[in-house]
Amino acid sequence: LSINTGSTPSHIEVPGAKENTLAVKPINEFLQGWDQLMQRAVQRKGDFKVVVVGAGAGGVEVALATQFHLQQLLHEKSLSADKLKFGIITGNTPVLSTHNKSIQKRFRRVLAEREVTIHKGIKAKRVSENVIELDNGETLETDAIIWATHASAPTWFKESGLAVDERGFIAVDDSLQSTSHQHVFAAGDVATVIDYPRPKSGVFAVRQGPPLYKNIRRALKDKKLKKHVPQISFLSLISTGDKCAIGSRGIFTFEGAWIWKLKDYIDREFMNKYNRLPEMQADIEPIQ
């Protein structure tokens, strides 16, 4: 068995968040809620406040892209974009906490330029309709809440009897094999490679595909499994919402429109793999 079902939004940990926020995952539900959010932003007469919970790469990208798109939408309808107010709740970590200090500084600058309020050092404790209760006793009133916090593990992993890490993700060794069940493999966000912990990111998930494939075949033939060591340094490209982007690799950072074009090219090529499917063989005999 090989498990790669993906993570779940962490709003399951905060009362009221599931019912009263727009989570970025799963994407089909986000798109439905996004259409409603746009409609409300256009129809609202006064200020329209949006708060993004989560200050990782996903939260920052979603906040800036959402802001840019809504500004363009209001402009097209000859409405003032000044009524848009944006904020980000960071929790107990800084903006882009898993990235280097330089990229954090660049994005603090961008967020300040875009007048996005950063609510630092506080967490969302409870959510009701248009209200976020914070763990410092304060409340935030808002018209829309987008949930983009860290990934969480589905509860059924632990309930299944599989070994899991302290956060509930499936524990695997460096061959992507479960540490408790010899014939179970796991990859992607659902898995934690115990000896090589890495952030929950697609850059690691996609590179686990080839070694996973090889090790499943080796396991079926009772051969020794191969070790897979995930990379430490990787290219990170984060959009600023306006067809510009900021990139980093190791200690180096860079930004500009050309970074966005590179990101757009990479993203489209990746998605095209799911759209441009190979032709099926026509000469395969049907099963009788």
Q: Per-residue pLDDT tens for 122-164?
A: 999 999 999 999 999 999 999 999 999 887 888 899 999 999 9
Q: Per-residue pLDDT tens for 36-88?
A: 999 999 998 889 999 999 999 999 999 999 999 999 999 999 999 999 999 99
pLDDT at res. 131: 95
pLDDT at res. 285: 64
Q: Is the pLDDT of residue 286 over 70?
A: no
pLDDT at res. 231: 84
- When pLDDT is averaged across residues 191-206 and rounded to a whole number, the result is 87
**pLDDT interval class at 268 (50, 70, 90):** very high
Ranking 19-28, 73-82, 209-218, 246-255 by mean pLDDT, the lowest is 19-28
SS3 track for the chain: CEECCCCEEHHHHCCCHHHHCEECCCHHHHHHHHHHHHHHHHHCCCCEEEEEECCCHHHHHHHHHHHHHHHHHHHHCCCCHHHEEEEEEEECCCCCCCCCHHHHHHHHHHHHHCCEEEEECECEEEEECCEEEECCCCEEECCEEEECCCEECCCHHHHCCCCECCCCCEEECCCCEECCCCCCEECHHHEEECCCCCCCCHHHHHHHHHHHHHHHHHHHCCCCCCCCCCCCCCCEEEECCCCCEEEEECCEEEEEHHHHHHHHHHHHHHHHHHHCCCCCCCCCCCCC
pLDDT at res. 40: 94
Q: Per-residue pLDDT tens for 8-33?
A: 777 667 899 989 999 988 788 889 89
pLDDT at res. 183: 94
pLDDT at res. 279: 79
Q: Is the pLDDT of residue 283 over 70?
A: no
- When pLDDT is averaged across residues 81-110 and rounded to a whole number, the result is 93
With vertex at residue 271, the alpha carbon angle to CA 266 and CA 276, rounded to the nearest 5 degrees, is 120
Say how far apart CA 6 and CA 132 lie, in whole Å.
27
Q: Is the pLDDT of residue 287 over 70?
A: no
Q: Is the pLDDT of residue 288 over 60?
A: no
**pLDDT interval class at 273 (50, 70, 90):** confident
pLDDT at res. 284: 62
Percent of the chain at pLDDT > 90 equals 69
Say how far apart CA 236 and CA 95 lie, in whole Å.
15
Q: Is the pLDDT of residue 178 over 60?
A: yes
Say how far apart CA 19 and CA 30 lie, in whole Å.
13
pLDDT at res. 11: 64
| 87 beta partners | 51, 117
| Average pLDDT, rounded, for the chain | 91
